[in-house]
Amino acid sequence: METIVISGANRGIGLELAKQFLNAGNRVIAGCRNPANATALRALAGNDLLTILPLDVAVTQSITTFCQQLSHETIAVLINNAGVMGGDKQGMHEMDYAAWATTLAINTFAPFQLATALLPNLKRTQRPRIVTLSSKMGAFNLPMHHGTYAYRSSKTAVSKVMQVLAWELESEGVIVCPVHPGWVRTDMGGDKADISAAESAAGLFNLINSMTMEHSGRFWTWQGIEHPW
Ligand X SMILES: NC(=O)c1ccc[n+]([C@@H]2O[C@H](COP(=O)([O-])OP(=O)(O)OC[C@H]3O[C@@H](n4cnc5c(N)ncnc54)[C@H](OP(=O)(O)O)[C@@H]3O)[C@@H](O)[C@H]2O)c1
Among 13, 76, 165, 204, the residue binding ligand X under the rule CB under 6 A is 13
Minimal distance in Å, beta carbon 218 to ligand X?
Answer: 17
Instruction: Say whether residue 111 binds ligand X (CB under 6 A).
Output: no
Is residue 128 a contact residue for ligand X (CB under 6 A)?
Answer: no
Q: List C-alpha distances in Å: 125 to 17, 100, 122, 174.
A: 20, 36, 6, 9
Distances (CA, A) of 92 to 24, 51, 55, 95, 148: 46, 43, 33, 7, 9
Site membership for ligand X, residue 187 (CB under 6 A): yes
How far apart (Å, rounded) are the C-alpha atoms in residues 39 and 44?
9
Question: Which helix (H) or strand (E) is 85 found in, with range?
Answer: none
Whether the CA torsion 51, 103, 216, 198 is positive or negative: it is: positive
Give the whole-angstrom CA distance, residue 132 versus residue 103.
15
Assess 84 for contact with ligand X (CB under 6 A): yes
> Residue from 49, 75, 82, 119 that binds ligand X (CB under 6 A)?
82
Nearest-approach distance from CB 194 to ligand X, in angstroms: 8
CA dihedral 176, 179, 185, 187 (to 10 degrees): 60
Phi, psi of 202 (to 5 degrees): -65, -40
The answer to whether residue 202 forms part of the interface with ligand X (CB under 6 A) is no
Residue 193 makes contact with ligand X by CB under 6 A? yes
Q: How far is the CB of 153 from ligand X (least distance, A)?
A: 13
Q: Is 17 in the site for ligand X (CB under 6 A)?
A: no
Site string for ligand X, 32-71 (x = CB under 6 A): xx---------------------xxxx-------------
Q: Is 178 in the site for ligand X (CB under 6 A)?
A: no
The answer to whether 40 touches 10, Cβ cutoff 8 Å, is yes
Shortest Å, Cβ 155 to ligand X: 7
Applying CB under 6 A, does 8 fall inside the site for ligand X? Answer: yes
Interface with ligand X by CB under 6 A: which residues?
7-8, 10-14, 32-33, 55-58, 81-84, 106, 133, 135, 180-181, 183-184, 186-189, 193
